[in-house]
């Protein structure tokens, strides 16, 4: 810890006024030495121990990871708030045509009405520990890349094993600064979460794709869960005997008015940033990653949306799938445009020129770091065609053709049938029925058939022959004379996986030859063969890329950098701080820092799936029934912006005021700064937050779920 602190301390004070306090995702054990002074200047009233403390309850004990998102405890009974889009798959899983919670919302008025959500869990952080010296203890300068990796992995396994021995905790050792530093994170996981409340999607996803990543925003992006423990307070699988969790700490909720310049603090689990990537890595994003994602997902989403709008059942089945796909489809559109508009690649090249000048000025530097950029360049250029093919395989086949994914369920049955062991066959059949039941619940064959035809055609048109799976040549061309539509129609007509009734009938009397000849099995095997070859070729460049990145990062840490070298996000808990703030997106335009319910009504379009709203919301607005949640200025707040530094994974993160009280839930970034994961833009980058007053108003006044608000400690 001392070694890492010394490096960052020098960088901060070398930079002086060039450093930006609102930029950076900071590790909790370092905030007292690195950040507390500036945070206090901005208005923070808490001590570092109030935020992170190993010996007594603190703010970090109320913040949890829920698998790709963040959430926070807001009551003494384990009540949990996160974004609507973070709880979306759970809300969808409980929905049906008869009980469409996506369309109508859901509110449990008693704990008995709360719905088990087996796909949800809550990870509570216990502690963070610097283990860099332990991880690198057996690493030697003369080691080859694979030897270095093996030594590090062995050390990580040992550290994790010792850390959790005799406990019910889990642990991981995460690398920082591209493998130059390592931290141990210890967690306690609770698996019994239950859905408590969610507004209708017309509120929780108001604006859908059109408003996604945009400001001004008017989305009530929240959902409510509860964490349950065993009767002894410890983690336990779902049981009717479980009790609401008694948390170590929960966040009070403030409904005081917000003003420009108010202190804002975010804690959560940001996913990934690449702030120290090179121009070669940016080039891959611009030429391969983003164009591919935009093209492939855009085509498939059009097919899904047409069927979703035509049929309520299909809409429920595909709502979560579509949302998951479209979120990063639009992200790619925005980031590609942002990287180009803001000339990020050129800025990276300028840093690389400075590096080259710096490194050749000293023979020892040249010996140590001289090959760093060249290694990254060779790796990126050498793997480009394989990375392109890999992404097409993933987007078109793995994610784009649902029926083909059933192949992964059939492996154990194939093996059992080949063994001739009746018990193994029976066990495999039983397991296959369970796993496929979940698949078919949210599967519509006609929709998937349309999508599969489009995906197989797109792959053939865009990818070179050497990466074409042999089913194109051996089946489509020979048997169907190149007609992809007929090939797909035949697959759906013949495969036992194309229909749940057909599969169950087969499983009653499984026959090895039938399974071995199934078109899904054979097509999937053909794709897997090419995928393995592509991945093998990509792996040839991983050593240079990993080593180059590590050396590049270490070199930057010795140079006088252009900005503070805080660690990139890597799905571990971080803290960011800043202020409630407006911004100027372009010449002569100012976006104020808040939106109101008036804006929802102004965007309202009857019957439009993106901008329709419930009549009750309109009626409450017209009568100005805002209760105690209105601003003293007379409006009903909906969302606001801050200049906190966040990224994906921060969705659902608490935005807290100077006293550590909850004032909103972070749920998005803004369009003008979509390049932010690669280069932070201090004048443009904003966090979009749903105001806690809108959350409580929806619960209390709109939905009548006052019982939930009454659980919370509301500060007026």
Bond from prior residue into 216 cis (ω within 30 degrees of 0): yes
The residue among 311, 479, 469, 330 whose CA lies nearest residue 401 is: 469
Interatomic CA distance for residues 350 and 345, integer angstroms: 9
d(CA 540, CA 135) in angstroms, rounded, equals: 25
Which CA distances in Å does 42 have to 36, 155, 534? Answer: 10, 41, 51
Q: Which of 221, 518, 568, 645 is catalytic?
A: 221
Cβ(232)–Cβ(125) under 8 Å?
no
User: How do strand 714-715 and strand 253-254 relate by DSSP bridges?
Assistant: parallel
State the DSSP H helix or E strand holding residue 307, giving kind and residue range, or none if neither: helix 290-310
Distance, in Å, from the CA atom of 389 to the CA atom of 398, rounded to the nearest integer, reads 13
Asked whether the beta carbons of 705 and 197 are under 8 A apart, the reply is: yes
Distance CA 3, CA 10 (A): 11
For residue 91 the two structure tokens come to: 């809300």
Residue 85 annotated as catalytic: yes
Q: What is the dihedral of CA 21, 25, 26, 28, to 10 degrees?
A: 130
State how far the alpha carbon of 577 is from the alpha carbons of 644, 646, 686, in Å. 6, 10, 12
In total, the chain counts a number of residues equal to 716
* Annotation says 221 is catalytic: yes
Kind of pairing, strands 70-73 and 79-82? antiparallel
Rounded to whole angstroms, how far apart are CA atoms 4 and 21?
A: 19
The one catalytic residue among 229, 651, 653, 675 = 651
Which residue in 85, 218, 249, 290 is the catalytic one? 85
Residue 67 neighbours by CB distance under 10 Å: 14
Phi, psi at 233, each rounded to 5° = 85, -5
Q: Is 371 exposed, middle or buried (0-12, 13-18, 19+ CB in 10 A)?
A: middle
Residue whose C-alpha is closest to residue 126's, from 76, 189, 175, 192:
189
Question: Would you please indicate which residues are annotated as catalytic (active-site) residues?
Answer: 85, 221, 651
């Amino acid at each position: 810890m001392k070694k890492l602190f010394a490096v960052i301390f020098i960088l901060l004070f070398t930079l002086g006024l060039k450093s930006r306090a609102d930029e950076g995702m900071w590790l909790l054990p370092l905030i007292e030495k690195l950040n507390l002074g500036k945070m206090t200047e901005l208005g923070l009233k808490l001590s570092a121990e109030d935020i992170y403390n190993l010996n007594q309850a603190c703010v970090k004990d109320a913040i949890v990871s829920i698998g790709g998102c963040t959430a926070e405890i807001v009551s003494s009974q384990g009540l949990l708030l996160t974004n609507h889009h973070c709880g979306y798959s759970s809300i969808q899983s409980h929905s049906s045509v008869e009980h469409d919670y996506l369309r109508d919302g859901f509110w449990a008025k008693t704990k008995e009405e709360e719905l088990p959500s087996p796909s949800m869990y809550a990870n509570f952080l216990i502690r963070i520990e610097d283990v860099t010296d332990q991880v690198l203890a057996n690493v030697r300068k003369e080691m080859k890349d694979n030897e270095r990796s093996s030594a590090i992995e062995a050390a990580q396994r040992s550290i994790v094993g010792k850390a959790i021995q005799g406990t019910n905790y889990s642990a991981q050792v995460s690398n920082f600064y591209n493998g130059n530093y390592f931290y141990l994170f210890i967690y306690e996981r609770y698996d019994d979460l239950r859905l408590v409340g969610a507004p209708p999607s017309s509120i929780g996803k108001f604006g859908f794709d059109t408003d996604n990543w945009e400001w001004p925003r008017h989305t009530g992006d929240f959902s409510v869960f509860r964490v349950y423990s065993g009767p002894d307070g410890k983690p336990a699988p779902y049981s009717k005997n479980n009790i609401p969790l008694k948390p170590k700490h929960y966040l009070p909720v403030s409904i005081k008015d917000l003003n420009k310049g108010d202190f804002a603090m975010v804690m959560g689990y940001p996913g990934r940033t690449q702030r120290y990537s090179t121009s070669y890595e940016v080039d891959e994003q611009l030429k391969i990653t983003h164009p591919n994602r935009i093209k492939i997902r855009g085509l498939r989403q059009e097919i899904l949306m047409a069927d979703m709008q035509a049929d309520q059942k299909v809409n429920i089945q595909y709502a979560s799938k579509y949302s998951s796909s479209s979120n990063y489809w639009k992200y790619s559109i925005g980031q590609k445009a942002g990287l180009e508009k803001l000339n990020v690649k050129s800025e990276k090249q300028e840093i690389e020129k400075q590096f080259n000048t710096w490194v050749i000025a000293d023979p020892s530097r040249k010996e140590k770091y001289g090959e760093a950029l060249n290694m990254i360049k060779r790796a990126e250029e050498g793997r480009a065609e394989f990375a392109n093919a890999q992404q097409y395989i993933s987007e078109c086949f793995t994610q784009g053709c649902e029926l083909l994914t059933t192949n992964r369920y059939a492996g154990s049955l194939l093996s059992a049938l080949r063994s001739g062991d009746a018990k193994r066959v029976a066990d495999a059949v039983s397991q296959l029925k369970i796993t496929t039941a979940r698949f078919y619940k949210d599967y519509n064959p006609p929709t998937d058939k349309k999508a599969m035809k489009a995906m197989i055609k797109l792959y053939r048109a865009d990818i070179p022959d050497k990466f074409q799976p042999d089913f194109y040549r051996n089946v489509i061309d020979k048997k169907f004379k190149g007609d992809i539509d007929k090939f797909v129609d035949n697959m759906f007509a013949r495969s036992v996986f194309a229909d749940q009734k057909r599969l169950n009938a087969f499983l009653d009397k499984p026959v090895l030859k039938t399974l071995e000849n199934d078109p899904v099995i054979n097509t999937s095997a053909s794709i897997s063969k090419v995928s393995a070859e592509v991945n093998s070729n990509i792996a040839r460049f991983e050593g240079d890329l990993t080593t180059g990145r590590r050396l590049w990062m270490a070199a930057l840490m010795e140079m006088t950098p252009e900005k503070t070298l805080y660690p990139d996000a890597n799905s571990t808990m971080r803290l960011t701080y800043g202020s409630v703030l407006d911004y100027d997106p372009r010449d002569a335009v100012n976006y104020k820092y808040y939106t109101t319910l008036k804006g929802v009504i102004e965007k309202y379009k009857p019957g439009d799936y993106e901008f329709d709203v419930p009549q009750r919301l309109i009626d409450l607005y017209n009568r100005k029934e805002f209760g105690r949640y209105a601003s003293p200025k007379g409006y009903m707040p909906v969302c606001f912006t801050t200049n906190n530094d966040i990224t994906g994974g921060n969705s659902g993160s608490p935005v807290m005021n100077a006293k550590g009280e909850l004032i909103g839930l972070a749920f998005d970034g803004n369009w003008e700064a979509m390049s932010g994961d690669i280069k932070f833009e201090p004048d443009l980058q904003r966090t979009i937050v749903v105001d806690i007053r809108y959350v409580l108003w929806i619960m209390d006044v709109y939905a009548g779920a006052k019982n939930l608000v009454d659980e919370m400690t509301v500060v007026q």
